[in-house]
Amino acid sequence: MVIEKVGVIGAGQMGNGIAHVFALAGFDVLLNDISQDSLDKAMATISHNLDRQVSREKITQAAMDDAIARIKTTMNLEELGKTDLVIEAATEREDVKNAIFEKLLPHLKPETILTSNTSSISITRLASRTDRPEKFMGFHFMNPVPIMQLVELIRGIATDEETYLALVAVVEKLGKTAASAEDFPAFIVNRILMPMINEAVYTLYEGVGSVRSIDESMKLGANHPMGPLELADFIGLDTCLAIMNVLHEGLADTKYRPCPLLTKYVEAGWLGRKTDRGFYDYRGETPVPTR
């Protein structure tokens, strides 16, 4: 199974990072979004990030130029039908993902592999809504994609071995490391990470520590590069809440109950860095705790 052309659905933070690493690894990339503005911003971000890699001598100028030349953009989802591999990186909502697959399916080649970059939603359930559950997998990249080395590969109950091995080979070509995860809520990384973040929010909610003391404690006491609340702001509090809800509903265990304070921040629209306010306020020169 030869994979040369890759379609990426969604030009946001994850989608532009995925397009970046695939183009740099020699794949032809077709990047799709419903907004031309989002596509333009994605290409500017990719160019900026590649330029930074050149300045740090991670890649050559020629490699950057070649990578940018390999990325094409389109607002027409049907155009992705000619690709060998599709990676859906749209918002973390199952109804949105299902609607995208439904619209795309009639245009796909029979052999095209369909994947989702979902961080928590059942791969088996997403695959069951398509015409190719045996060629459907979870392909979960970590954020920021150009820097993080891990890719979680999640097989649904119907995924065949050929599809799995094809994606293992793709991850190797990207220069990243694959970790195989079973299809249970939030897979491996977020099954462990999100309850830790949620517990940090409970620690704040119950007044055990302030935002700054919680983050400093985990950075200096557990040697974490970022504190859990700072990390939550980086990920997006809406994404953290969505994953906690998937864990809570999917595993029916009260230990996964989202902290009410996390819900409150999301209701306020304080989603972290992307809205300039979360557990920190980013509107000034340096982040200031909001609690």
Is 32 tagged catalytic? no
Q: What is the pLDDT of residue 135?
A: 98
Residue 32 pairs with which residues in a beta bridge?
A: 9, 74
Of 88, 92, 152, 230, the active-site residue reads 152
* Eight-class DSSP state of 272: B
Measured CA to CA, the distance from residue 215 to residue 230 in angstroms comes to 7
Q: What is the pLDDT of residue 92?
A: 85
Measured CA to CA, the distance from residue 84 to residue 104 in angstroms comes to 13
Is 152 tagged catalytic? yes
| Consecutive H or E run containing 35 | none
Assign 242 to helix, strand or coil.
helix
Is 199 tagged catalytic? no
Measured CA to CA, the distance from residue 136 to residue 188 in angstroms comes to 19
Q: What is the pLDDT of residue 120?
A: 86
Q: What is the pLDDT of residue 261?
A: 98
Model-level pTM?
0.90
Residues 6+ apart with CB under 8 A from 117: 10, 14, 15, 18, 87, 88, 89, 138, 139, 140, 141
Of 49, 140, 198, 230, the active-site residue reads 140
| Consecutive H or E run containing 111 | none
Mean pLDDT, 10 residues at a time, the chain of 291 residues: 94 96 98 97 98 97 98 97 97 93 97 95 96 98 95 97 97 98 94 97 98 98 97 95 94 97 98 97 97 92
Please say whether the beta carbons of 27 and 3 come within 8 A: yes
Q: What is the pLDDT of residue 252?
A: 95
Is 16 tagged catalytic? no
Of 38, 120, 190, 198, the active-site residue reads 190
Of 32, 38, 119, 122, the active-site residue reads 119
> Token pair for residue 75?
């607002």
